[in-house]
Chain A
Amino acid sequence: MNSSSINLAFKIAQNENRPALLTYTVAGDNNKKKSLEILKSISKYADICELGFPHNTPIADGGQIQTSAYRAIKNGIKINDVFSIVSQFKKLKKSKPIILMGYYNLIYQYNENKFLNKCKKSKVDGLIVVDLPFPENKKFASKCKRKNISFIQLISPTTSKSRLKQIIKSSHEMIYYISMLSTTGGKLKVSPRKILREYSKIKKQNKSKNVVIGFGITEKNINSLKKADGLVVGSAICKEITNSIKKRQNAVTNVINVVKRLKKKIT
């Protein structure tokens, strides 16, 4: 697993003395073709691309990602389309890691095994399932491992010490630290110093794990969290898509500019 493309992406960033930049966009936002275009263009600057498979009852997402998800569903995105977006992307950008992110019901309805086979076939590198926490996710996580798909565990400020240890122990190469008590895209209500202190508690347990921080990260604050292995920006990008549509501007160009600026801030 050490040579996985996720690990490699972190290594490249590390060698450049900067955190990896992870972007999150919703598959099918605002339609299938556009979202592939957006993905392709931001991957020039992003080290790892998270791609959401949208759900219409997202209990952990804030307004921006909800809007993107509703828009994608309204425009007809289906799970199979998500896989075809990944396949097409991977044909062009073989080594760029793709992490699918979403809610368990969609996997459950598709069938776990069938879903993972499809992931494998379309070359998905990792999976984040928001509402499948540890230890309930043990079985699913090991299924992922068998298919060489990285299952990404989440840790939050409320995670207890003993739980933290267990989660890190059962984690694969990447761990996602949720910066604060919030849905995605909330205003960063905790100081970066405090976030990094919690972050280092995770790193201390096992230095070999790549720990990323997400939730509430924008152009304004990304610089102050530079010490992390990786930083995830999602809502800020989704917001840019929404605004571009509203202003009838080219979403692709606008989003590239946001990602470019984000990258610059951490380089």
Chain B
Amino acid sequence: MKLKKNIPLIDQHDKYGFWGGKFGGSYIPETLKKPVEDLTKTFEKLRKDKKFIKKRDFYFKNYIGSPTSFIKLENLSNHLGGAQIWAKVVSEANGGAHKIYNATVHALICKAMGKKYIVGDTGAGYAGKMLSMAAKKFGLKCKIFMGAKDIKRQKPNCDAMKKNGAEIVPVYSGSQTLVDAVSECMRYWVSNCDNTHMCVGSTVGPNIFVKICGWSTAQISRELKAQLKKEFKKIPKKIKLINCVGGGSSAYGFWSEFIDFNKKQIELIGVEAGGPKKSKLHAAPLSKNAKIGILHGAASYVCQNNEGQIHETESISAGLDYPGVSPIHCFLKDTKRARYTFATDEEALNAYKLIKKYEKLNPSLEPSHAFAEVIKIAPGLSKDTICIVNSCGDAKKDRDILKKRLGKY
């Protein structure tokens, strides 16, 4: 298994949609074959269409607010000693997280395909909130599928979705979290694919959805590359790009431009949700060595039992609380291009506290997992090492959890 150079990772799959011959694919019911094929054709056409690219860039700049800033966390660096810590503040994007890139692109594709309805899944509620925003912006009717447990714990985002005119469909099956929301959303699409477009909220699902999402979030690393050159004159010699990984959309977006670099120069570190310290449950299929399985139309490392039943997961972060992971991250793991680790709920909370104490930054519980890792490793690294964390979400949505766990928000 080998990575190719000069080809975007999203395009390094075989004719059946597999990365590295075994991750990804499209394990879908027959009914979805045609809509998936149509979507694939449309997307391949649009991404080569200069007019479409122009439109995308226009909305990225004027609607999403690209580029998001790249800042040094001076106080935190001084406090920890060792490496310089920087952040790419993607949470500045319209709506407060990276999910807006994928949502905007899907809304544009939906329009281009002449469909009036758009549906999507959501865990933390960001994917849903952004899709509802994009749907409103582009005049589409929107339905969001969300686990009943997540609706309770991410209320601020639910309020936003409703305000944007989207219908939230609560999902009561299984563990009532993201995994069930995605299943229910796919079922809905099976029944309504003739007039409805489906947006998968991360780089997961059948091959084409991995590609569209990765293509959308890749904007983050294009910006970062330019910002690095501007800040340091050239790409520095020792960089670590640290990102949380649930489905893996923000991590892929943060890394895509840098995958071709030597890993000694640019190390890619993915941080999964280790769950509560005392619990056996987690949402870390890569770093806890789960077996390959098929979930939601793709083969990836999946938290599951011996029989192939999908395991319940547990994490304080709804956005990372997913038993599977993007096939492209499985590919990056097996080719050893990226390193994956995890942070527990407690470590993420402590990281959040520390960031709040030293910086004017309010990272949500998802990127707090990435900050937990940088806090661990920075003190042992040299001063010329540049650790960059993708602060991909804002903690407003975590208000209730943070209040409960830390006594204040």
Contact B293 A181 (CB under 8 A): no
CB of B98 to closest CB in A, whole Å:
26
Which residue of B has the minimal Cβ distance to A154?
B30
* Residue A131 interfacial (CB < 8 Å): yes
> Per-position contact with B for A219-261: 1 when CB-CB < 8 Å, else 0?
0000000000000000000000000000000000000000000
Contact A105 B183 (CB under 8 A): no
Report, as a range, how many residues of chain B touch the other chain.
Answer: 35 or more
Instruction: Note all chain A residues with C-beta closer than 8 A to B229.
Output: none
* Residue B310 interfacial (CB < 8 Å): yes
- A59 with B191, Cβ < 8 A, contacts A79-B307, A110-B308, A158-B31 known: no
Contact A154 B29 (CB under 8 A): yes
* Residue B279 interfacial (CB < 8 Å): no
Which of B29, B35, B302 has a CB less than 8 Å from the CB of A59?
B29
CB of A108 to closest CB in B, whole Å:
6
Instruction: Note all chain B residues with C-beta closer than 8 A to A202.
Output: none
- Which residues 77-118 in A have Cβ within 8 Å of B in the complex? 78-79, 103-106, 108-110
Contact A60 B29 (CB under 8 A): yes
Binds A, one of B20-28, B112-120, B219-227, B233-241: B20-28
> Per-position contact with A for B186-226: 1 when CB-CB < 8 Å, else 0?
11001111100000000000000000000000000000000
* Residue A73 interfacial (CB < 8 Å): yes
Total CB contacts across the A-B interface at under 8 A: 110
Contact B310 A57 (CB under 8 A): yes
Contact A131 B31 (CB under 8 A): no
> Per-position contact with B for A105-142: 1 when CB-CB < 8 Å, else 0?
11011100000000000000000001111101000000
Contact B190 A136 (CB under 8 A): no
Interface residues in A, total, Cβ within 8 A: 39
Contact A181 B34 (CB under 8 A): no
In the bound complex, how far is the Cα of B32 from the Cα of A215, in angstroms? Answer: 15
Contact B30 A133 (CB under 8 A): yes
- Which residues 249-273 in B have Cβ within 8 Å of A in the complex? none
* Residue B399 interfacial (CB < 8 Å): no
Contact B33 A57 (CB under 8 A): no
Contact B293 A160 (CB under 8 A): no
* Residue B138 interfacial (CB < 8 Å): no
* Residue A192 interfacial (CB < 8 Å): no
In the bound complex, how far is the Cα of B291 from the Cα of A48, in angstroms? Answer: 35
Contact B308 A181 (CB under 8 A): no
* Residue B139 interfacial (CB < 8 Å): no
* Residue B409 interfacial (CB < 8 Å): no
* Residue A55 interfacial (CB < 8 Å): yes
Instruction: Note all chain B residues with C-beta closer than 8 A to A136.
Output: 16, 25-27
Which of A56, A70, A134, A178 has a CB less than 8 Å from the CB of B310?
A56
Contact B34 A59 (CB under 8 A): no
Contact A181 B307 (CB under 8 A): no
Which residue of A has the minimal Cβ distance to B16?
A136
- Which residues 272-323 in B have Cβ within 8 Å of A in the complex? 291-297, 299, 302, 304, 306-310
Instruction: Note all chain A residues with C-beta closer than 8 A to B192.
Output: 181
* Residue A163 interfacial (CB < 8 Å): yes
* Residue A156 interfacial (CB < 8 Å): yes
Most buried by A among B26, B191, B304: B191
* Residue A183 interfacial (CB < 8 Å): yes
* Residue A150 interfacial (CB < 8 Å): no
Instruction: Note all chain A residues with C-beta closer than 8 A to B308.
Output: 55, 105-106, 108-110
* Residue B174 interfacial (CB < 8 Å): yes
In the bound complex, how far is the Cα of B35 from the Cα of A105, in angstroms? Answer: 23
Contact B293 A108 (CB under 8 A): yes
Grouping DSSP codes into helix (H, G, I), strand (E, B) and loop, the A interface class, with mixed when no group exceeds half, is: loop
* Residue A267 interfacial (CB < 8 Å): no
* Residue B389 interfacial (CB < 8 Å): no
Instruction: Note all chain B residues with C-beta closer than 8 A to A133.
Output: 26-30, 33
Instruction: Note all chain B residues with C-beta closer than 8 A to A57.
Output: 174, 179, 183, 295-296, 310
Contact A109 B190 (CB under 8 A): no
Contact B191 A131 (CB under 8 A): no
* Residue B173 interfacial (CB < 8 Å): yes
Instruction: Note all chain B residues with C-beta closer than 8 A to A158.
Output: 30-35, 193-194
- A59 with B190, Cβ < 8 A, contacts A110-B308, A158-B34, A159-B30 known: yes
In the bound complex, how far is the Cα of B190 from the Cα of A154, in angstroms? Answer: 14
Instruction: Note all chain A residues with C-beta closer than 8 A to B31.
Output: 60, 156-158, 178, 181
> Per-position contact with B for A158-200: 1 when CB-CB < 8 Å, else 0?
1110010000000000000010011100100000000000000
Contact A56 B174 (CB under 8 A): yes
In the bound complex, how far is the Cα of B35 from the Cα of A160, in angstroms? Answer: 11
Contact A130 B29 (CB under 8 A): yes
* Residue A155 interfacial (CB < 8 Å): yes
Which of A61, A105, A156 has a CB less than 8 Å from the CB of B30?
A156
Contact A105 B296 (CB under 8 A): no
Contact A105 B293 (CB under 8 A): yes
Instruction: Note all chain B residues with C-beta closer than 8 A to A134.
Output: 30
Which residue of A has the minimal Cβ distance to B174?
A56
CB of A162 to closest CB in B, whole Å:
11
Contact B30 A160 (CB under 8 A): no
Given A57-B179, A103-B294, A156-B29, list of 18 further CB < 8 A pairs? A59-B190, A59-B296, A60-B190, A62-B187, A79-B307, A106-B307, A108-B308, A109-B306, A132-B27, A133-B26, A133-B28, A156-B31, A158-B31, A159-B30, A159-B33, A160-B34, A181-B190, A182-B190
| A binding-site residues for B, Cβ under 8 Å | 55-62, 66, 70, 73, 78-79, 103-106, 108-110, 130-134, 136, 154-160, 163, 178, 181-183, 186
| B binding-site residues for A, Cβ under 8 Å | 16, 25-35, 173-174, 179, 183, 186-187, 190-194, 291-297, 299, 302, 304, 306-310
Pick 22 A–B contacts, CB within 8 A, sort by A: A55-B308, A56-B310, A59-B29, A59-B186, A60-B29, A60-B190, A70-B173, A70-B174, A108-B294, A109-B306, A131-B29, A131-B297, A154-B30, A156-B29, A156-B30, A157-B31, A158-B193, A163-B34, A178-B31, A183-B187, A183-B190, A183-B191
